[in-house]
Amino acid sequence: MQRIVILGSTGSIGRQALDVVMKRPADFSIAGLVAFSNREELLRQAEATRPDFVCLVDESAAKQLRDDLGSTASATPTLLTGEEGLLAAAAWEDADTVLNAVVGGAGLAGTLAALKAGKKLALANKESLVAAGKLVKRTLEESSGSLIPVDSEHNALWQCLIGEKDSEVARLLLTASGGPFWGRRPSDLADVTPAEALAHPRWEMGQRISIDSATLLNKGLEVIEAHELFGVDYDRIDVVVHPQSIVHSLVEFVDGSLKAQLGPTDMRLPILYALAWPRRIGPVLPAFDITTVGDLTFESLEPGWAPCFDLALEAGKAGRSYPAVLNAADEVAVAAFLSGMIRFQDIGNIINHALSEHEPIDIDSVDDFTQVDAGARASARQAKVS
Ligand SMILES: NC(=O)c1ccc[n+]([C@@H]2O[C@H](COP(=O)([O-])OP(=O)(O)OC[C@H]3O[C@@H](n4cnc5c(N)ncnc54)[C@H](OP(=O)(O)O)[C@@H]3O)[C@@H](O)[C@H]2O)c1
């Protein structure tokens, strides 16, 4: 029986993780749940799972939750609040595994705290590795913890690499669905609305990653994540567009052989894999019938089709603090697009502005990250848009 803490339990990954946990009561139980401000959902989740603690990072929402908890008749979980609460949650003594499903650069603190406490970290928050990859890896090396990727592509690569030698890996091939606008010309996308950009053809996800999938910035973040996670150079990581999202990624070996991981388009599968690792248990999903899948197609992603992807690759290759700037500027730009303040194509212009203004540093500490993150957000807010 593994005791699990979920950081970001009220989000898309968090809710799917709770579904996995509740389907396997003999294998998993919930030690604690953390969200930012969604107290109604957190309260519902706490009633269903009876955790040791709940945590809201937003202090005013936490104050209201305190009143809600006081009025419930059932055993009351400990209430943690604020950033301090999140750090305590990630290091909770009576927990084995932390699933980090917080969105954005805000997830870094939980990643580092869980690893320092020697936990098994199931990492959905790719931004931790993108913005502070060296720091996360150093923390992992110095800890007794472990890190298993939840992102479906990286989870697939992880599975394909088991039992293989690094020296025999030729290339990593990340698959990309292409998002809602695949097949259209970039010049036709100037006036797309947030609703159109949020309508992903294959995956139901949180708002930020959905917009990032439409701009393909998300695939750029994933290339950086793969570089940091597997230590493979950028010139040996490629992206292929595979609109069916059945092949979750592939590894090519020096003999020319390709190994792929396939499965349904459902994040509960990589979540289950990461939570159960190093075992395999289940299933938690209906059987996947490969005969119903139909054609599987693979196309190349031409440079210039997705400017945000190209910017992400440049930032990844430039290294140092550039990927942290990429992430922070994108968070600002996506929020502005969702609130109707900027057009779709301005997302790339804002990121470009923040990257070109930036003076790089090495990110060796949380303070370094905080400084770069704040500077990039300020720069992104000042960018001129069309
Ligand atoms: N969704 C997917 O299918 C998918 C697939 C692969 C990877 N990922 C990655 O998984 C992560 C989560 O994505 P998502 O789609 O689940 O996001 P989401 O639906 O937006 O959920 C985000 C979660 O993070 C919490 N949160 C936000 N800001 C926080 C803060 N400052 N401190 C603590 N908690 C905070 C939110 O709490 P409130 O609800 O209270 O705001 C919510 O629980 C992202 O890094 C994403 O790239 C997602």
Per-residue confidence (pLDDT) for residue 16, from 0 to 100: 98
| Cβ 253 vs Cβ 166: under 8 Å | no
Q: Which atom of ligand 1 is nearest to the CA of 14?
A: 16
Of 5, 6, 9, 12, which is best to mutate to test ligand 1, by the most ligand atoms within 8 angstroms of its C-beta?
12
Per-residue confidence (pLDDT) for residue 203, from 0 to 100: 87
Instruction: Give the tokens for residue 320.
Output: 């140092």
Per-residue confidence (pLDDT) for residue 386, from 0 to 100: 77
Ligand 1 neighbourhood includes 8 CB (under 6 angstroms): yes
Q: Which atom of ligand 1 is nearest to the CA of 124?
A: 10
Per-residue confidence (pLDDT) for residue 73, from 0 to 100: 56
pLDDT less than 50: residues of the chain = none
Per-residue confidence (pLDDT) for residue 291, from 0 to 100: 96
| Cβ 103 vs Cβ 129: under 8 Å | no
Ligand 1 neighbourhood includes 126 CB (under 6 angstroms): yes
CATH classification of 154-382, choosing from 1.10.1740.10, 3.40.640.10, 1.10.287.470, 3.40.50.300? 1.10.1740.10
Per-residue confidence (pLDDT) for residue 74, from 0 to 100: 64
Per-residue confidence (pLDDT) for residue 28, from 0 to 100: 98
Q: How far is CA 304 from CA 40, 53, 309, 311, 346, in A?
A: 43, 48, 9, 10, 15
Per-residue confidence (pLDDT) for residue 105, from 0 to 100: 97
Tell me how far apart the alpha carbons of residues 358 and 361 are, in angstroms, rounded to a whole number.
9
Query: What separation in Å is there between the alpha carbon of 385 and the centre of ligand 1?
Result: 27
Per-residue confidence (pLDDT) for residue 69, from 0 to 100: 87
Of 20, 45, 102, which is best to mutate to test ligand 1, by the most ligand atoms within 8 angstroms of its C-beta?
102
Residue nearest to atom 25 of ligand 1 (CA): 8
Q: What is the mean pLDDT of the chain?
A: 97
Per-residue confidence (pLDDT) for residue 366, from 0 to 100: 96
**The CATH number of the domain covering residues in 2-149:** 3.40.50.720
Query: What separation in Å is there between the alpha carbon of 259 and the centre of ligand 1?
Result: 30
Per-residue confidence (pLDDT) for residue 10, from 0 to 100: 98
Which burial class, exposed, middle or buried, applies to 318 when counting CB atoms under 10 A from its CB (0-12, 13-18, 19+)?
A: middle
125 Cβ contact partners less than 8 Å away, ≥ 6 residues apart = 7, 8, 100, 101, 102, 103, 104, 107, 108, 110, 111
Start-end ranges of CATH 3.40.50.720 in the chain?
Answer: 2-149
Q: What DSSP character marks residue 27?
A: T
Instruction: Give the tokens for residue 380.
Output: 């992104």
